[in-house]
């Protein structure tokens, strides 16, 4: 499974990238707002840190506007992946951008049918929103499983990018189902390493080692 960081915080992205844990980054207008920087400057800096795809989202809702914004965003760095909404105009833009050789991430996916359309349009990634599906009383992980089965049925190359991840359990479940990618906030990615028994075991080892009076090197 690939790990993308869902953030526009350059400092946190750099820290995680230096650990070798980052395969890509996803941003959106809300994350750009939170960063306090311009979309051009923030996107360029992230792309200089991460070698993998960095999703930068268009905000136009019409096809022509999406294509203009995609041209601008795509010109910022070679590893920019254009993020478009799951709409008819978004799918049209996806098809056109894919034909140009550009990677496209279709976002705001909430159904298997939408994911099927995105794959038909040639999307590199589909972003089903697990947490937001859970919020309305449905099962976000069931959506991931449905998309995985459909894509496997027809050998689609579109990667399932589990998004709107709220918990470390979401990450585990997405991995068990077979999502290709999970995009997570920095805090969630860091939380994956945590387990109380690891901490307890380390404390015990260190206490016993101190009693030996020894040093290593």
3-state SS, one letter per residue, for the chain: CEEEEECCCHHHHHHHHHCCCCCEEECCHHHHHHHCCCHHHHHHHHHHHCCCCEEEECCCCCHHHHHHHHHHHHCCCCCEEEEEECCHHHHHHHHHHHHCCCCEEEEEECCHHHHHHHHHCCCCEEEEEHHHHHHCCCCHHHHHHHHHHHHHHHCCCCEEEEECCCCHHHHHHHHHHCCCEEEECHHHHHHCCCCHHHHHHHHHHHHHHHHHCCCCC
Q: Which of 62, 86, 51, 57 shows the shortest CA–CA distance to 73?
A: 57
- The reply to whether 83 belongs to the active site is yes
Please list the residues that pair with 106 across neighbouring strands: 84, 126
Please list the residues that pair with 24 across neighbouring strands: 4
Task: Single out the catalytic residue among 83, 120, 172, 215.
Answer: 83
CA 84 vs. chain centroid, Å, equals 14
Residues annotated catalytic, as ranges: 83
């Amino acid at each position: 499974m690939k790990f993308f960081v869902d953030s526009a915080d350059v400092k946190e992205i750099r820290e995680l990238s230096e650990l070798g844990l980052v395969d890509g980054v996803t941003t959106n207008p809300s994350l750009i707002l939170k960063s306090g920087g311009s979309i051009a400057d923030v996107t360029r800096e992230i792309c200089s840190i991460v070698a993998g795809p960095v999703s930068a989202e268009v905000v136009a809702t019409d096809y022509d506007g999406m294509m203009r914004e995609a041209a601008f965003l795509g010109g910022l760095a070679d590893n920019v992946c254009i993020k478009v909404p799951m709409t008819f105009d978004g799918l049209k833009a996806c098809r056109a951008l894919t034909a140009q050789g550009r990677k496209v991430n279709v976002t705001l996916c909430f159904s298997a049918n939408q994911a099927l359309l995105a794959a038909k349009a040639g999307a590199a990634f589909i972003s089903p929103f697990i947490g937001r599906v859970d919020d309305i009383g449905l099962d976000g992980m069931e959506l991931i499983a449905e998309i995985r089965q459909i894509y496997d049925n027809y050998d689609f190359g579109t990667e399932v990018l589990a998004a709107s991840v709220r918990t470390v359990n979401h990450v585990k479940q997405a991995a068990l189902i077979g999502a290709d990618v999970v995009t997570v906030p920095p805090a969630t990615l860091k939380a994956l390493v945590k387990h109380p028994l690891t901490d307890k075991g380390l404390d015990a080892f260190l206490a016993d080692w101190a009693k030996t009076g020894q040093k290593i090197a």
